[in-house]
Structure 1
Amino acid sequence: MTLEKPYFCRRKFLSCHNVQQRFFIMRLSHSIFLGSSLAYILILLKTVSSAFADILEAQVRLGNQLGRIFLSLSFFVFLAILWEITARGLKIPTPILPPISGVLHYLIHFLPTMLSDVFITLYRALLGLGLGTILGLFLGFVLGYSSYFYKSFYPLLIAFYSIPKQALVPLIVLWTTFGTTPAIVTALITSFFPILVNTTTGILILDPDLVALAKIYGATKWRLFVKISIPYSMPYFFAALRVAGVGAIVGATLSEMIAAQNGVGHKVLMASVKFQTLELFSYVLLIGIVSVFLYWLLTVCDRYIVWWAYRGQERL
């Protein structure tokens, strides 16, 4: 009897120890399960909150865009209503100022015929814009790279730009031919100078600290120009390209009024001579819409090609 009691107590102690160990393991496994579940829930909540934040940010951005579009459209609607009230309220004769309703009716009725002339003018303007962009970029890079060429030729180019384009069109007709070529050359001249000036300016106003840092790392003048100067000038180039695009349309239209037998400029001139103000205002309104669309398209290209220049700003 004396030997069985210690054996019984030892066995009971071992069984109690096993129960405590199992209980500890169960609590530990439950704690691990609860901890992992809580971590998973937190990660899920963070992912969902990030997704909702992105959605809200996109909605805010979309709301701002729609607000700007609504404000612009409201302004044009206000001008149209004011135009209509002025023309009809003051009983202004149609050959002097037709109502906007009559202009829109004429525009819708003769739109297919008018679009052919608009496409001719747009073709000439875009071709001149492309040539002016290539020439303006090339000379802008040359003048920005070499201070000698900049000081020698930049004042002469600015003096040439000050010459009225109307005075150049007869000379262009005399040197080339009558029709498409003068419109292309005029669009080239009109779009060339803004691109030249902005590209040169973008290269010349580099951050001196950035240039000094590049030179510390052993950048040569050519490598500094290619890796820093050209990318740094791209926002200035695209800002000029938007203005040059509209200027190319203006230049092509101006040349068509003097030296062409088709296109928007020629139609506007003929309509003004015949006092057909409905046709005149319709062409002016249509080419204005095309110019606004081209400006918007170049703005979108600007924001998405040189996106790094607009960090922290709302994208279109």
Structure 2
Amino acid sequence: MSAEVETMMFTGRERPWHGLGTQVEEAPDSKEALIAAGLDWDVVQRPVFTQDGVKVPGYFANVRQQDGSILGVVTSRYKVVQNRDAFAFTDELLGEGVRYETAGSLMGGRKTWILAKLPTRYIIQGEQILPYLVFSNTHDGSGAIKIAMTPIRVVCNNTLNLALNTADRCWSIHHTGDIAAKLEDARETLFMAEDYMNELGKGFEDLSRKRLTDAAVEEYIQELLPIADDASETTEKNILRLRKDMAARYYDAPDLQGVRKNGYRFINAVSDFATHAAPIRRTKNYQETLFNKTMEGNPLTDKAYRLVMAA
């Protein structure tokens, strides 16, 4: 397991697109998922003291109760959201029978997430698109609670979480004030999720009407994967290889052979490249970075979407 992943579970016969985690046979309910993902622990707050034993007013340490790990130092305004509270929220939001596809802990427990499949299935451009809901949380004070949409194109397991001007796909809740009330307000998430999926469908229709010449495809690829004037010979060679890879995903991918040469085909090719292509240099945190981009949006896919729509 890679450096940043502490614990994780996933369902299915094959490893998911992020390549991380421990497999379980069937998608569990919240109680089973909490244990399988290694998230069955609590966060407590302890006073902070200087080296001289003087208490620091207005600050607390978030501590994992089970092993005493210090997850972060926060102000007195910070409200803890326990892992079980996150599962309880998604349980109530999605209703009885919800099953969790993946969940886990990053960076020694400082960041956690759960991903559940929404009950609605969508057919967009004649293809099945499954909407997933990601609930991510931090226990170190570095970020807000985030709830995000991650649509998956079933035929190729690619993510299509485009940044749309007409609908949001990610919503945040800060760890301050009345957290219970904020989570209550977040129950509108399903309405926002449906709005996003409907707008995504319209976006795909617009993309499908954008006919692309081979010259336009080559121009877009060059803009997405530019070569700097001062690039070394090795760097230039590597980027040319990546350009060839992206082009092959547009022209040769089996799942796109029935799709005309248009913007929708190109966005799927870029998404496939962004999700699955091997990087020039694989860092130790590569898979976590890919997973975060999948949750929070991939800049490469978003840029491709803007390029095509601006034409």
Q: TM-score range by the shorter chain?
A: under 0.3
Task: Considering Cα pairs closer than 8 Å and 6+ residues apart, tell me whether 1 or 2 has the greater RCO.
Answer: 1
For normalisation by structure 1, the TM-score amounts to 0.23
Q: When you count strand as a share of all residues, which structure comes out higher? A: 2
Q: Which has the larger radius of gyration?
A: 1
Q: When you count helix as a share of all residues, which structure comes out higher? A: 1
